[in-house]
Homo-oligomer: A and B are copies of this chain.
Amino acid sequence: MTTHDGYRYQASCGSFSKGLACSAVISPPSNLPGFLSDDGFDVIVIGAGYAGLTAIRDLCNLGYKVLLLEARDRVGGRTYTADVDGHLYEMGGAWVHWGQPHVYHEMHRYGQTKMLNSNEAEIGCQSFFTACIDGARTSMSLEEQERLVSKAFEVFCNVDDSYGRRLLPYPHEPHHNPDVRYWESISAAQRLDQIRHLLDDVQITTLQAFLVAISGNTMKETGFFDILRWWALSGYTVLGLYEYTETYKIAAGQSDFARCFFEEALSTGNLRFSFQTAVTGIHDQAGRVTVTCASGQKWLAKRLVCTIPLNILTKVDFNPPLPAVKTAACIKGNVNFGAKLHLEVDDTHLLSWVATNWPGTHIFSCRGDGITPKGNTHIVTFGANKDSLSPQQNAQEATAELNKIQPVTVQQVVWHDWVKDPFSGGSWCMFPPGYSFRYLDALRERHGNVFFASGDWAYGWRGFIDGAIEEGSRVAKEVSVCLGRLKAVAASL
């Protein structure tokens, strides 16, 4: 099946197309036709990303009557897997790790623990790193690069003489230690200024390129605290950071994994769903929530789970209106306007290649990520896309930029524009300086009968698949307790 999402540019014939083959598409898009709902649903869940998928699965298993509404034609939200000429491309969130508790727990549940290692060098394939700085290229071994980045990152994150262990002893509880308040208030740029004198130029450049690839924005717009949290969650080492955040992919693809949640929910008989159904209004009155869809259709439920991402949440008309602090949080929002593009190139020597490009425009970093059935190399790149290029420009400028880093023949480009996507409005969540203490807890609070779940405001792996599942799990539990299904137990003993 083909999702409306995503773009493909084939260099050989100059052809450009929208929509990609993807197993996450749900067809038919709804099982509502013919369904009569007299008194509404127990719970309506808006959004079929991992937060919403976890919520519907948990709620349906508990016996609630659930309606899932999703604007896209597929499950997975800011993750999906495109099958292009028999090769799987992860268009959004891709990398997972067995130390990410929520996602690995679910991978185990669904027998999806088979993984691919993006860093695995094929036999006979040379591993190397290219730093392209102001257009000048230097190459070194991946071991040399690791030492270089390790040193730079260790200095950057060593805020407490214990590489962050004292300051962030429990990385899944971001505000556990009140001492983090200062570090939460500064930007990545400010932190770099504090330690710049301890590093040499190559270290600084490589660190900067790495950081902007993480944040999808400038160092000034990126909160230092978010970088520090990734570091702590990854075990307080650079090797951990690589292994947790950019190494292991689910072998069958994210879309296969996402479908498991949906199919389990569906198998209970408790799930109604409607894809390609955007929501425009949420009205919470007299103990019932009415959801209005773009088509004008209305649905009623006792409780609502809203998983709409941070950057587009205010597009929906809430009545009663969202509290001022939530609205302010949404307006300030996720600052990640990063771009991820896949390029199929005909140079097979780049399989174990990693590169940094500074100052990049569309590409800050790139790496080999597999061999396509045609024998070409799949290169995945990360950059910024705040400038709202047209899709065609995107493909062509990325191709041109990759050629500056490494001369190659690009066969095709495959990507999704998460920034201009009206249902995401940005990439994986990164907070600006001073945001977490001010807004994080407010974003997690219920608003009457409306509960909010999103990886954008997870406590642990925020911005990751793990964080989305953390949130779906939290809110499904809260709703269940609230509706009395999981009741207090002391009296029954």
Residues on A lying within 8 angstroms of B by beta carbon are 26-28, 31, 61-63, 98-102, 104-105, 108-109, 113, 115, 117, 169-173, 235, 237, 240, 243, 263-264, 266-268, 460, 470, 473-474, 477, 485-489, 492-493
Docked pose: A171 CA to B98 CA in angstroms? 9
Known: A266-B492, A267-B486. A101 touches B109 (CB 8 A): no
Judging by beta carbons under 8 Å apart, are B170 and A113 in contact?
A: yes
The interface residues of chain B lying within 8 Å CB-to-CB of A474 are 108
Docked pose: A266 CA to B492 CA in angstroms? 8
CB < 8 Å neighbour of A98 from B26, B460, B493: B460
Docked pose: A263 CA to B481 CA in angstroms? 13
Judging by beta carbons under 8 Å apart, are A173 and B113 in contact?
A: yes
Judging by beta carbons under 8 Å apart, are B98 and A172 in contact?
A: yes
Judging by beta carbons under 8 Å apart, are B98 and A489 in contact?
A: no
The interface residues of chain B lying within 8 Å CB-to-CB of A27 are 493
The interface residues of chain B lying within 8 Å CB-to-CB of A104 are 101, 172
Judging by beta carbons under 8 Å apart, are A113 and B172 in contact?
A: yes
14 A–B pairs (Cβ distance < 8 Å), ordered by A = A61-B61, A61-B62, A98-B460, A99-B99, A99-B101, A101-B105, A104-B172, A105-B473, A264-B489, A266-B489, A266-B492, A267-B488, A267-B489, A267-B492
In the complex formed, the residue of B with least CB distance to A58 is: B61
In the complex formed, the residue of B with least CB distance to A104 is: B101
CB < 8 Å neighbour of A100 from B101, B170, B470: B101
Docked pose: A235 CA to B115 CA in angstroms? 17
How many whole Å from A56's CB to the nearest CB in chain B? 13
The interface residues of chain B lying within 8 Å CB-to-CB of A28 are 493
The interface residues of chain B lying within 8 Å CB-to-CB of A485 are 268
The interface residues of chain B lying within 8 Å CB-to-CB of A493 are 26-28, 31, 266
Judging by beta carbons under 8 Å apart, are A108 and B98 in contact?
A: no
In the complex formed, the residue of B with least CB distance to A98 is: B172
Docked pose: A172 CA to B98 CA in angstroms? 8
The interface residues of chain B lying within 8 Å CB-to-CB of A264 are 486, 489
Judging by beta carbons under 8 Å apart, are B101 and A98 in contact?
A: yes
How many whole Å from A152's CB to the nearest CB in chain B? 20
Give the interface centre of A101, A470, A473 by most chain B CB atoms within 10 Å: A101
In the complex formed, the residue of B with least CB distance to A106 is: B105
Docked pose: A492 CA to B266 CA in angstroms? 8
The interface residues of chain B lying within 8 Å CB-to-CB of A489 are 263-264, 266-267
Judging by beta carbons under 8 Å apart, are B488 and A108 in contact?
A: no
How many whole Å from A150's CB to the nearest CB in chain B? 13
The 5 closest A-B pairs by CB, nearest first: A99-B99, A101-B104, A263-B489, A105-B105, A101-B101
How many whole Å from A28's CB to the nearest CB in chain B? 8
Judging by beta carbons under 8 Å apart, are B108 and A267 in contact?
A: no
How many whole Å from A54's CB to the nearest CB in chain B? 11
Judging by beta carbons under 8 Å apart, are A473 and B109 in contact?
A: yes
Docked pose: A460 CA to B105 CA in angstroms? 11
Docked pose: A108 CA to B460 CA in angstroms? 10
How many whole Å from A270's CB to the nearest CB in chain B? 11
The interface residues of chain B lying within 8 Å CB-to-CB of A169 are 117
Judging by beta carbons under 8 Å apart, are B477 and A115 in contact?
A: no
